[in-house]
Structure 1
Amino acid sequence: MIYNFTSKTTLTTGLTLSLILSLFSTIPGNAQEIYVDDNCKQNQQLSQSELFAVFHKSKFQTKGQTYWFYSGKYQDGSAIFCISQPGFKQPRPLSELKPIQFHFIEKITKDPRNKTAFLIVTREGNGSYVRMIEYRLTLSTPAKPTLTKLRTWRSEQ
């Protein structure tokens, strides 16, 4: 009977340990993070004051070419928007996006109605009841991205 109890405890502990390990394995660590500089070039050797940690990266195709659209977050929470060919080749900041470049980003998603567009929600600050703005970024012509303001509202607490 005691042996049975020990087996169940070991099984439960083993499952719990396995669950904990699987949860931690999905959390990105510093070694897995990708860093870019203010010119959108990947560089894992940057100092803390120079780096943007990539928090969003999406692949899309237009006009027979494949591109990466990605965004990095600076230590103060502001973001940089970038575009490159796969593998961070020929990267460049999307300087055309002045209304959102270096702002706080709430969310970035692909536009379900357009495979070369993204929906971006910005925050005007980190507090409660701040202005939120949703934009559509269209990258069908990557050299001339277009940004359209869709709606504005106040955040909740």
Structure 2
Amino acid sequence: MSKTTLATGLIISLMLGLVFVTPSKAQETYIDDNCKQNQQLNESDRFTVTYKAEFKTKGQTYWLYSGQYIDGSAIVCISRPGFKQAKPLNIKQLQSGYIERISKDLRNQTAFLITVRDGNGSYVPITQYRVNLSTPERPITAKIKSWRSGR
């Protein structure tokens, strides 16, 4: 077999492989209002997980995650990996608004920066909190800054 025939065959095989590959869509993860995973929930009963991060404290691994309801409101949760021992994070300021952003605090492995909108419209108050989860049963929350949204 010539090198040209072999090369042509490989190129055609690659092209056919690329054409017939069907993209797969990652399955969304749903949780209920107690932060427990349940893929069978109706749309009106579920939150879609929009953020999930793993962290370690005192030799134990935890997940911090947030779910968004169909109206945009959010729930912030903590659990052990695999949604075990899942529960809402007991911080009123986080559970009463719209989560705009969550990120890890680069200065502390067990802390997160969580930005909360107090409404879903224009000119609403926005507050950023630092949440330290070094002791997950007793999270420490500190208000970092607040401002009003634009249009």
State the TM-score, normalizing by the size of structure 1.
0.79
Is 2:117 aligned against 1:123? Answer: yes
Matches within 5 A, 1:1-150: 32-94=27-89, 96-150=90-144
SS in 2 for 1:99: helix
SS in 2 for 1:100: helix
Letter in 1 for 2:104: K
SS in 2 for 1:46: coil
RMSD: 1.9
Whole-Å separation in 2 of the counterparts to 1:138 and 1:57: 16
Question: Where in structure 1 do 4 or more consecutive aligned residues deviate above 3 Å?
Answer: none
Letter in 2 for 1:42: Q
Shift of 1:128: 1.9
Shift of 1:62: 0.2
On the 8 A contact 2:33/2:75 being kept in 1, the answer is: yes
Larger radius of gyration: 2
SS in 2 for 1:68: strand
Whole-Å separation in 2 of the counterparts to 1:137 and 1:35: 24
Determine the structure 2 residue equivalent to 1:7.
none
Deviations along 1:66-122, one digit per CA (max 9) or x if unpaired, are 00011101111111111111111111111x211120410110000010110000111
Whole-Å separation in 2 of the counterparts to 1:135 and 1:73: 18
Structure 1: gaps (5+ residues): 1-13
State the TM-score, normalizing by the size of structure 2.
0.82
Letter in 1 for 2:84: K
How many residue pairs are counted as aligned between the two chains? Answer: 133
On the 8 A contact 2:102/2:112 being kept in 1, the answer is: yes
Letter in 2 for 1:107: R
Letter in 1 for 2:77: C
